[in-house]
Amino acid sequence: MKPKILLLFLFAISILAFSSCNKSSEKKSYKVIGVTLLKRGDIFYLDLEEALKKEAAKLNYEIIVTSADFDLGKQIAQIEDFISRKVDAIVVCPVDSKGIGQGIIEANNANIPVFTADIAAQEGKVVAHIASDNVAGGRLAGEYLAKVLNGKGKVAVVNQPAITSVLDRVQGFKEAIQKYPEIILVADVNGQGVRDRSLQVTSDVLQSNPDLNGIFGINDESALGALDAVQQLNKKDVAIVGYDATPPAADAIMKETSLKADVIQKPGLIGETTIQKIKDYFEGKQVPAVVPVAVGIVDKESLSKNK
């Protein structure tokens, strides 16, 4: 082979090798994140999903979003599918804070980092939990209800005790009302976080406690279910405080129904922060085990100002 041709041949080989090396490097830096949500079709989770996707796109991460739809078996299967795909990180919004441990441990064994958003897990190793400061939110709800009731009366909680974020809300609520000796918690019932069940259990509470004065609904489905029960039984004097500030709840507040106020979360900020903490982890930075996101409270007055 002539020297000139040989030099051209060697140059072409080196270009191909450099290109291949670059492609390999690009492939290595490309990250895939699997997400399993509690549910879809809920404004909170729609906003959370949108923020996760938007922030991931900014960082050129591929994101695979699924929904468990309150089905623990389905959520564990989704995690197992992410493991088989060898994703780089998994985000879980647990259906059951304890039950999801099985899936998280499987991810741990596969050396895939797990992050939880909105709802914490009680078992398995999680790098970071990113969620609203739900204890603070529960306190805001308790303080608001105490103010409406002038510091006295009988109250109930429409709960969903399988979820850690809900347990935190109820903890904060109880801490707040404990400051008022004349406020008595007479019922703590499980509305399962859905409207129809919350209507049923609230109806039972109202029939057992006809002199009930206030209700804390742990999310807006619970609060709106409680509102349905109050309206059906014509208990106009019962004040309700909810959690999430979804448009249907805000509309009920503006119409001066028994739903007086709502704790407002920032699902978009939760989603954005979750992706940022995953990025920090990928870059080898120290990530806090718990990352709280601030909450607030809205009533007719504050909603009117924001219109």
For 116-126, what is each residue's pLDDT tens digit?
999 999 999 99
Task: Tell me the C-alpha distance between 271 and 255, whole Å.
Answer: 31
Strands (E), 24-181: 32-37, 62-67, 89-92, 114-117, 128-132, 152-159
What integer pLDDT is reported at residue 41 of this predicted model? 79
Q: What is the CATH number of domain 134-265+299-305?
A: 3.40.50.2300
Answer yes or no: are the C-beta atoms of 292 and 132 closer than 8 Å.
Answer: yes
For 52-107, what is each residue's pLDDT tens digit?
999 999 999 999 999 999 999 999 999 999 999 999 999 999 999 999 999 999 99
Cα distances (angstroms) measured from residue 280 to each of 127, 197, 273, 274, 286? 11, 41, 10, 10, 7
pLDDT tens, N- to C-terminus, the chain (307 residues): 555 554 454 455 555 544 444 443 344 458 999 999 999 978 889 999 999 999 999 999 999 999 999 999 999 999 999 999 999 999 999 999 999 999 999 999 999 999 999 999 999 999 999 999 999 999 999 999 999 999 999 999 999 998 889 999 999 999 999 999 999 999 999 999 999 999 999 999 999 999 999 999 999 999 999 999 999 999 989 999 999 998 999 999 999 999 999 999 999 999 999 999 999 999 999 999 999 999 999 999 999 987 6
- CA nearest neighbour of 97 among 117, 78, 111: 117
Q: Where are the domains of the chain?
A: 31-126, 134-265+299-305
**DSSP class of residue 258?**
S
Same fold for the domain at 31-126 and the one at 134-265+299-305? yes
Q: What's the token pair of residue 129? A: 């939990």
**pTM reported for the whole predicted model:** 0.76
For domain 31-126, give its CATH number from 3.40.30.10, 3.40.50.2300, 3.40.50.970, 3.10.420.10: 3.40.50.2300
What integer pLDDT is reported at residue 3 of this predicted model? 53
